[in-house]
Amino acid sequence: MKRKFMYVLVGVIGLTAAACGTKSSTVAKDGAAPAYEILNLPKVSLKDYKKNSNGAYVLFDGSSLNGWRGYGKDHVPSKWAIDNGTLKFSKAPAGVQNPEGGDLIFAHDFKNFELEFEWKISQGGNSGVFFLAKEIKGQPIYVSSPEYQLLDNINHPDAKMGVDGNRKSGSLYDMIPAKPQNAFPAGEWNRAKIVVNKGKVTHFQNDEKVVEYELWTPQWTELLQASKFSKEKWPLAFDLLNQVGGKSKSGVIGFQDHGDDIWLRNVTVKEL
């Protein structure tokens, strides 16, 4: 059965605009999927960012958070800050009263790209990176985005959950395990790369290809149905991850607040 969507634009995205609105989506009365709203928040232009020697835009250079903001917010939450040249999430930042958390995004829609960054996590820590995400009102970022898992495989219980290690570091969270599983222990720097090109996605961890899949295909639907994002368990996530946009889909890149300290550096994106 075809799904019918009605989009009503009530705000306009500006490159550096302070104003924001929402784009609402309401499905047909057949109940195929829940209603949702896509927030229309300010975005930035890549022309204001430098490229490195590989032709990739430098999204975080160790000195500025320009272009970054909280998911669904117009500012950077105080649990995210620059720490000795790294981008750090702190569960309890020193000297900050009533610190604010939340996922962090770079405010630009990417479509086909190579995202590279380095990361290290605290002992027992859990986090993740998201891509092709939309900012859905009242919903977490992963309702519309695949997740590249970042985890202390040795000490976090998630490593023993899921199926065949599909919640370990580098995995497509809760769907495809990273193999070989080559993450370094907590406190050590890891290298990550995510390549998205016309729906095909490849995860690299410490310079090895560990996961490969293609979005918006029958195989992708099967993966969703076998996960926590199935139509029965989470119909909105299933619909957003499975249907919206197809191969024309673009979205923001984000890093997760999972309540554990994590450090990031050398965050770059090369458009394909």
The model's pLDDT over 77-132, given as tens digits with 9 standing for 90+, comes to 999 999 999 999 999 998 899 999 999 999 999 999 999 999 999 999 999 999 99
d(C-alpha 76, C-alpha 92), whole Å: 16
Residue labelled with tokens 């784009």:
23
Which band of pLDDT confidence, cut at 50, 70 and 90, is reported for residue 145?
A: very high
- pLDDT at position 247, please? 63
Q: What angle do CA 235, 77, 90 make, to 5 degrees?
A: 95
**DSSP state, residue 142:** G
- pLDDT at position 246, please? 61
pTM: 0.88
- pLDDT at position 164, please? 96
The set of residues, in sequence order, having a beta carbon less than 8 Å from that of 84 and lying 6+ positions away, is none
The model's pLDDT over 27-85, given as tens digits with 9 standing for 90+, comes to 434 556 678 999 999 999 999 999 999 999 999 999 999 999 999 999 999 999 999 99
The set of residues, in sequence order, having a beta carbon less than 8 Å from that of 105 and lying 6+ positions away, is 68, 69, 70, 71, 130, 133, 135, 141, 252, 253, 254, 255
User: What residues pair up with 131 in beta bridges, in sequence order?
Assistant: none
- pLDDT at position 248, please? 65
The type of residue at 47 is K
The domain segmentation of the chain, as residue ranges, is 48-271
48-271 fold: Jelly Rolls (2.60.120)
d(C-alpha 152, C-alpha 221), whole Å: 29
